[in-house]
């Protein structure tokens, strides 16, 4: 099925560990973004990309890195996990002037 695939769906990390959240889309969309969603905080933009090789920071980029070597993939790396990064993470993609298609999300708990 066409869409945005995120892995893993659930993850528990210890403080200080690093990990990569995977995101892949098969719709040839140029725009891809990572959001985190915390209770009562809505969706906040972490990083985004407008094409392969082009990434930039959003509202809350600290503690996260991204890269986009291909149109399809946009992984999010947590450098040194902190309890404040406990959240639900969504990857989304879109073509210009179209709506975003979201992945199913990753529920991350940092203990």
Partner 1 sequence: QQPVQSPQAVILREGEDAVINCSSSKALYSVHWYRQKHGEAPVFLMILLKGGEQKGHEKISASFNEKKQQSSLYLTASQLSYSGTYFCGRFTGNQFYFGTGTSLTVIP
* Cα–Cα dist 63/40, whole Å: 21
> At its nearest, how many Å lie between partner 1 and the CB of residue 19?
20
> At its nearest, how many Å lie between partner 1 and the CB of residue 15?
26
Q: What binding mask, one character per residue, do residues 49-68 give for partner 1 by CB under 8 A, x or -?
A: -x-----x-xx---------
Burial of 16 (0-12, 13-18, 19+ CB in 10 A): exposed
Q: Which stretch binds partner 1 (CB under 8 A): 7-15, 16-24, 74-82, 86-94?
A: 86-94
């Amino acid at each position: 099925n066409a869409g945005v695939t995120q892995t893993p769906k659930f993850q528990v990390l210890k403080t200080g560990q690093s990990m990569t959240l995977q995101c892949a889309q098969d719709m040839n969309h140029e725009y891809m973004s990572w959001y985190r969603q915390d209770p009562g905080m809505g969706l906040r933009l972490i990083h985004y990309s407008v094409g392969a090789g082009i990434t930039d920071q959003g509202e809350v980029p600290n503690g996260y890195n991204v890269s986009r070597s291909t149109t399809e993939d946009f992984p999010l790396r947590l450098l040194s996990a902190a309890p404040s990064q406990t959240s639900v993470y969504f990857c989304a993609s879109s073509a210009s002037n179209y709506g975003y298609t979201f992945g199913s999300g990753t529920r991350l708990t940092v203990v």
